[in-house]
Every structure is written in C-alpha cells, then in structure tokens.
Amino acid sequence: MEWTDVLNRIAGGEDGHTEFKPNFKDKSKVGKTICAFANTRGGLVVLGVSDSRQIIGVDEDSEQVQERLTSFLQTGCSSPVNARLSRHQDPKGWVHWLEVPRQRGYEPLRYDGRVWVRRGRSSVQPSPTELQELYNIFGYVLTEERAIGAASSADIDLEAFRAYLRQLGIETEESPQPHTDDDLRNRTVVVDIGGQLRPTLYGVLAFGKEPQRYPQTANFRIECAAYAGTDRASVPLIVASATGRLDEQLRRALAWFRSLGRFETYNEFVRRDRYLLPPEALREALTNAVAHRDYAITGSKVQFDFFADRAELTSPGSLPNHMTTASVRAGGTARSRNESIANYLLTMKFMEQRARGWPLMRAAMREFNGTEPEIDHSAESRYVRVTFRLGDADD
C-alpha cells in the first residue's frame, strides 16, 4: 500500500478495516487489533495518527519501531502473522502501517491467550456462537480423533490407560509389552503430528490428566443445577460442575444427584428409602449424553437440570447418523457419533449393551412412578433433551 492510499484511509477515518494508534508503546492495544483483523477480514493498522485523524507521528526511533513491530508479528500472537510493514516520514513525524491479511491456519489466532475479532470499529472477544463459526471457517472441526495441539503425550495418565487395557482383558505387566507410544497410537489415544505425539480429543477425555485445561475442551463437562421452580428463571438451589475424565464426570454427576436427598415410601409396615428418580435411568441418560454429544460444538456442555416437577438432561448436537426420536424410543440399532468414546464407556461398564439404553430407562421409570421418559430433538438448535417426570403418572 502506497502513502497516498494510507492518506485516503486516514481521511476516511476508523472503521471495520482501519484503526489508528498514536504509537506502539501500548503493545496490548495494537496486539488485539492485529489479532482481530487477522481473524476477521483483514485490515490496516496505522501508527502515528490520532483518533481525530490527525497525523502526530511516532515519537520513537523509526528503526527501533520497525524492529519491534517485526518481532511482534513473529512472536506476539499464537502463531506468526504474515503482515506487510511500511513507513513514511511526514513533516510531523514517522507514520508506520501494517497491512494485516486474513489469517489462514489450523485454528483462529490468539493474542494474550484469547481469540479476538473485529466488530465494527472495535476489537472484541467473540461470543460463543461467533467462536464456533470462527472455528468452522478455519476448518477446526473437533472430532474424537482430532489432535489437541496444546497437549502432549505427557498429558496422558498412563495408569488410567493401563486400567482400561486391564478392563479389556489385556495383560499389562508380563513381558514382552509393546512400547507405550505404540500402544497409545494404535488405540487412537495419540496421533503423530509433525513428528510429535499429540493426544486426540478421545485420548484427553478418556485418559487425560487435566481434560478441561485446553481452550477447545474447557467446557466439555456436565453442568448440574437444581432449581426451586419449574424453569431456569427460578432460584438455583444447588449448582455444581462435574469435570475430569469421562468416567469421573459421570461419577461426580451421579454423586451430585444423590446429594439431593431421598424420600420415604411404605409398603404396609415396610419403609423404603428412594431417590428422587431411579439412579439407573439417570446413569444411562448421562452416559448417552457424554457418549453421543457433538464435540464439534466448542464451548458447549451437557446440562443436568432438576426442577420442581422434572429432571432434564440436555446434550449438545442433533441425533447422530440420521437417527430419529422414533428410532430411539424403539431401541433401534446403535449409531454412535463418537465410536471410540462409546466403546470406552461400554468397556468401563458405564454403558449397557448397545441400543438397550432407552428400553432400560423406560422400564426403570415405569417401575418407579409409572411415567415414561421423554425425548426432544432440535436439529436447528442442535440439542437432544431427555426429560424424567418426578410425579406419578396420574399427577
């Protein structure tokens, strides 16, 4: 871009593609702008110009500013920015400008650990919906076999992995044993990316030491909440997050449910303590929620909500592989979106024999209070919701 072109942009003022800064002393403001332009549609950052479009010049040594800008473009963001850097000596001082193109890469650019986008004349953090769309544009569709770039094979808990192998009936102590890296690779716990072993999403969720520590997986958990009324507008009474590996999430969510208490029933003179709902039905619904949810919807989580009249389990994503609510109710052939995760939960005895989930939940609810579990599915809003009624069938 020539100086005359820059003058025209200065005359036009700041907009979605142009921003002025007086200097490079406040690196954070310039960094956010560069990151936002790179993630959105590109743009021009001009240093040495005030917000009122006046050329004031950068009051620092021109060569040093160029060196600092060049260094920042290489190391200031999560990956190098391929921007064009130019300058012009105006009578009022040096003006520097950066032409930032739209970034192309594996995932959106980050500055200071956060993603930034351009919204009008401002550089802001994207909403969850905007962030999901941004990941989709960059081609970062997160499936269970996709590598988590920020993780390494050292982040896999090898004892948890060996416990899984023992559950499969595989001897882990007797020699000879395959090399650990080969074992992890063969079972899609890790994949080779540029000569480095990186855990897959499946590997992180099933065997990771800290599954929620990465930006892509931070919300992959079960969010539990009990409300005083019949909707989320009512007062929340008990709230908790079930985090950790998949097996830990399920155990913690069920422990939270049991903490809600029991009630007494009598058959003649025999007292019986019962939970608010049959644990076996909730266990099956929770397991199916984490097994079949759509992990490509980043920033989403499984919702486990208790209201005055019902419990709801909401899983992100539509039903997998062209299944319908009718086929679910009929106990049709199992069709997993996440085959490795489903097999892991089956091996760890969280899931029953495949395709038996809905019949088991229905039988448990009929025996408990004579009601039927309900299923609601929205392909447009991308969720599947299972509802259990707390009252008897006649209530």
For residue 263, what is the domain's CATH number?
A: 3.30.565.60
- pLDDT tens digits in sequence order for the chain, 395 residues long: 899 999 999 999 999 999 999 998 888 889 999 999 999 889 999 999 999 999 999 989 999 999 999 999 999 998 889 899 999 999 999 999 999 998 876 678 889 888 999 998 899 998 876 776 676 666 555 678 888 888 999 999 999 999 999 999 988 787 777 888 999 999 999 998 878 899 999 999 999 999 999 988 999 999 999 999 999 999 999 999 999 999 999 999 999 999 998 766 556 555 567 889 999 999 999 999 999 998 888 778 999 999 999 999 999 988 876 677 887 887 765 667 788 999 999 999 988 766 678 889 999 999 999 999 999 988 778 899 999 999 776 65
* Residues 361, 274 within the same domain: yes
Burial class of residue 280, CB neighbours in 10 A (0-12, 13-18, 19+): middle
Q: d(Cα 127, Cα 370) in Å, to the nearest integer?
A: 43
* Residues 230, 377 within the same domain: yes
pLDDT at 198 (0 to 100):
92
pLDDT at 192 (0 to 100):
87
For residue 148, tell me if it sits in a domain: no
Question: Residue 388 corresponds to which amino acid?
Answer: F
Q: How many CB atoms lie within 10 A of CB 243?
A: 18
pLDDT at 274 (0 to 100):
81
For residue 215, tell me if it sits in a domain: no
Nearest to 376 by CA among 363, 387, 388: 387
pLDDT in tens, 59-106: 899 999 999 999 999 999 988 898 999 999 999 999 999 999 988 766
* Residues 112, 28 within the same domain: yes
User: Whole domain around residue 37: which residue ranges?
Assistant: 3-125
Q: pTM, whole model, 2 decimals?
A: 0.64
For residue 130, tell me if it sits in a domain: no
* Residues 247, 338 within the same domain: yes
Q: Which of 207, 242, 277 is a domain's end point?
A: 207
* Residues 169, 314 within the same domain: no
* Residues 36, 79 within the same domain: yes
* Residues 247, 374 within the same domain: yes
Number of domains comprising the chain: 3
Q: d(Cα 91, Cα 201) in Å, to the nearest integer?
A: 56
pLDDT at 266 (0 to 100):
54
Radius of gyration of the chain (CA): 27
pLDDT at 106 (0 to 100):
60
* Residues 343, 385 within the same domain: yes
pLDDT at 378 (0 to 100):
84
For residue 80, tell me if it sits in a domain: yes
Element (H, E) at 64: helix 62-75
